[in-house]
Amino acid sequence: MNRPDKTDLTARLKRIAGQVGGIQRMVEEDRYCVDIVQQVSAARAALSKVAKMLLTGHLETCVSDAFAVGGKERREKLEELIRLFESEF
């Protein structure tokens, strides 16, 4: 896959920004709580998809290259991934 397409990522992030704006309007309009929660869940899922795309691209390029080189670069990328997963879980 290589790096994710910036155009695709930008389009996805703009849609997510629109979703978040819609959620804000729903709160301001005192819409039904369950409907708001469903929209929050959809926005979170969309952000998760963007994160997965970015991480996949990073693993297939930067991390793969660092592991091929080995040594200090490999260790740095491994530590970077460990920190990332520690913050996510």
Cα dihedral sign, 6-9-13-14: positive
Residue type, 59: L
pLDDT score of 88 more than 90: no
Q: Name the pTM for this structure.
A: 0.84
Listed residue (1, 2, 4) closest to 13, CA to CA: 4
Residue 49 domain-assigned?
Answer: yes
- Number of domains into which the chain is organized: 1
We report the CATH number of the domain holding residue 49 as 1.20.58.1000
Residue 42 domain-assigned?
Answer: yes
Residue 1 domain-assigned?
Answer: no
Gap between the Cα atoms of 80 and 73, Å rounded:
10
pLDDT score of 1 more than 50: no
For the chain, give the number of residues: 89
Give the tens place of pLDDT for each residue, 39-57: 999 999 999 999 999 999 9
Listed residue (10, 16, 8, 23) closest to 43, CA to CA: 16
Which domain does 36 fall in, by range? 6-88
